[in-house]
């Protein structure tokens, strides 16, 4: 009788332990953890298909480029800040000349940002001076000063920090990690920026990579198309792939692009860049990665008339576009085909 009573007393405890274990298992399915950050899956804002960015890791792209306005307020990883973040309604959308109005008092939308300007500032990094989305100054340190070879123009993590990319200890400098995106789940920590290694894997090393990206023109807008893992071309359409080629190699109407988008295609509009001289290189893609190259520059994805690749010589104060990604949960390779849920 005593043994039976002991088992009865233990039974509720066993039930509780089982429930806790089940809850943990469920959380592991809905949260992605790696060396960079923890991604809490958003409920909206992502495109339908999956893209391999390293061996065994796939992501989904945001539905449009990142945009910011000083109006309203939003949650951050460590509190709240003024302003609102959102994704463009369409993949082909970009702001253009209005980026030249960027300031603390301008209430319109901008989508060209200096590197690491999420709004987060690590007070221990005294050489990071410009970290707000509307930061545009191009004043740099003078030769011989302490800052000259540590963080020349004061953007993003300095090279004397333990982490110099927008990852790991500096992950809050990443726009998507630090900020809630209003039409992308509206919580911090749901999105992130790809590293240069991930971009290179996506464009050159994943299965059939050479056949899954190209320059294109969509409804008159120049840009770059990246196709998902296991892509199947819709009937009646053609696609000329390759890392080199002109924007006229693939020309699509709005209706044709809708078919490609439904099949999982990503389009990065050739949004140009913002500098002290105005908007320039419009008709070329300029997109930040999360990776620094040295104390003056960071890696970015760039297109020219006949190329589409990552480059290292991008001054951090230049305003480039940002396209974020999310990891909904760890997924395994499935013969190169996207795992649609």
Per-residue pLDDT, 204: 94
What tokens does 328 get?
């909904």
Per-residue pLDDT, 39: 62
Q: Are residues 218 and 84 in the same domain?
A: yes
What average pLDDT is seen over the chain?
86
Mean pLDDT of 96-120: 97
Q: Are residues 13 and 133 in the same domain?
A: no
- Helix H or strand E segment including 258: helix 254-262
Per-residue pLDDT, 332: 45
pLDDT band of residue 341 (cuts 50, 70, 90) is very low
Whether 25 shows a pLDDT value over 70: the answer reads no
Q: Are residues 21 and 44 in the same domain?
A: no
Whether 211 shows a pLDDT value over 90: the answer reads yes
Q: Are 41 and 328 in contact (CB under 8 A)?
A: yes
Q: Are residues 136 and 105 in the same domain?
A: yes
pLDDT band of residue 188 (cuts 50, 70, 90) is very high
Per-residue pLDDT, 243: 61
Mean pLDDT of 265-272: 96
Give pLDDT tens digits for 58-95: 999 999 999 999 999 999 999 999 999 999 999 999 99
The neighbour count for residue 337, using CB atoms within 10 Å, is 15
Distance CA 154, CA 129 (A): 5
Burial class of residue 245 (count of CB atoms within 10 Å of its CB; 0-12, 13-18, 19+): middle
pTM for this predicted structure: 0.85
Distance CA 46, CA 59 (A): 10
SS3 255: helix
Mean pLDDT of 86-110: 97
Q: Are 181 and 88 in contact (CB under 8 A)?
A: no
Over pLDDT 90: what percentage of the chain?
73
DSSP output for 138-178: ---PPTTSTTTTT-TT-BSS-TTSS--SSSGGGGGGSHHHH
In the numeric block, the tokens 């770059």 are attached to 224
Per-residue pLDDT, 264: 97
Q: Are residues 111 and 13 in the same domain?
A: no
Give pLDDT tens digits for 214-239: 999 999 999 999 999 999 999 999 99
pLDDT band of residue 305 (cuts 50, 70, 90) is low
What is the torsion angle, in degrees rounded to the nearest 10, for the CA atoms of residue 218, residue 208, residue 50 and residue 245?
A: -20
Distance CA 70, CA 274 (A): 18
Distance CA 218, CA 212 (A): 17
- Total domains in the chain come to 2
Q: Are 132 and 138 in contact (CB under 8 A)?
A: no
Per-residue pLDDT, 162: 86
pLDDT band of residue 40 (cuts 50, 70, 90) is confident
Per-residue pLDDT, 304: 73
Comparing CA positions, the residue from 319, 338, 282 lying closest to residue 46 is 338
Per-residue pLDDT, 308: 84
When mean pLDDT is compared across 38-47, 82-91, 262-271, the lowest value belongs to: 38-47
Per-residue pLDDT, 276: 83
Per-residue pLDDT, 240: 94
Q: Are residues 155 and 16 in the same domain?
A: no
φ, ψ of residue 185 to 5 degrees: the values are 100, -25
Q: Are residues 235 and 336 in the same domain?
A: yes
Q: Are residues 124 and 159 in the same domain?
A: yes
Per-residue pLDDT, 333: 41
Q: Are residues 307 and 233 in the same domain?
A: yes
Whether 155 shows a pLDDT value over 60: the answer reads yes
Q: Are residues 72 and 9 in the same domain?
A: no
Per-residue pLDDT, 193: 98
Q: Are residues 298 and 207 in the same domain?
A: yes
Instruction: Quote the radius of gyration of the chain (alpha carbons, Å).
Output: 22
Q: Are residues 63 and 208 in the same domain?
A: yes
DSSP output for 17-80: HHHHHHHHHHHHHH-EE-SS-EEPPPSSSB-SS-EEEETTEEEEEBSS-EEEEEEEEEEETTEE
Distance CA 165, CA 147 (A): 18
The neighbour count for residue 262, using CB atoms within 10 Å, is 12
> What domain range is 22 assigned to?
2-30
When mean pLDDT is compared across 25-29, 77-81, 178-182, 185-189, the lowest value belongs to: 25-29
């Amino acid at each position: 009788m005593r043994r039976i009573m002991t088992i009865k007393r233990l039974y509720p405890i066993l039930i509780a332990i089982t429930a806790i274990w089940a809850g943990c298992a469920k959380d592991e399915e809905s949260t992605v953890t790696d060396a960079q950050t923890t991604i809490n899956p958003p409920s909206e804002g992502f495109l339908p298909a999956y893209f391999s960015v390293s061996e065994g890791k796939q992501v989904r792209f945001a539905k449009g480029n990142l945009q910011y306005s000083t109006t309203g307020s939003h949650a951050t990883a460590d509190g709240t800040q003024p302003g609102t973040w959102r994704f463009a309604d369409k993949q082909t959308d970009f702001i253009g000349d209005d980026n030249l109005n960027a300031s603390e008092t301008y209430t319109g939308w901008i989508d060209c940002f200096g590197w690491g300007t999420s709004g987060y500032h690590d007070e221990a990094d005294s050489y990071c001076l410009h970290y707000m989305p509307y930061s545009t100054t191009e004043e740099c340190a003078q030769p011989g000063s302490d800052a000259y070879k540590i963080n020349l123009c004061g953007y993003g993590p300095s090279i004397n920090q333990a982490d110099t990319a927008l990852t790991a200890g500096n992950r809050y400098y990443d726009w998507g990690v630090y900020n809630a995106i209003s039409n992308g789940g509206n919580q911090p920590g749901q999105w992130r920026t790809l590293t240069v290694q991930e971009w290179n894997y996506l464009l050159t090393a994943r299965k059939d990579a050479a056949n899954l990206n190209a320059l294109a023109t969509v409804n008159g807008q120049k840009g770059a198309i990246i196709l998902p893992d296991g892509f199947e071309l819709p009937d009646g359409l053609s696609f000329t792939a390759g890392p080199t080629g002109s924007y006229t190699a693939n020309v699509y109407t709005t209706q044709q692009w809708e078919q490609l988008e439904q099949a999982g295609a990503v389009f990065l509009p050739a949004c140009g860049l913002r500098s002290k001289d105005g908007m320039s290189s419009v008709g070329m893609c300029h997109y930040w990665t999360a990776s620094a190259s040295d104390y003056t520059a960071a890696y970015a994805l760039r297109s020219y008339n006949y190329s589409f690749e990552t480059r290292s010589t991008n001054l951090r104060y230049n305003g480039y576009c940002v396209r974020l990604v999310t990891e909904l949960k760890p997924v395994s390779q499935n013969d190169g085909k996207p795992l649609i849920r």
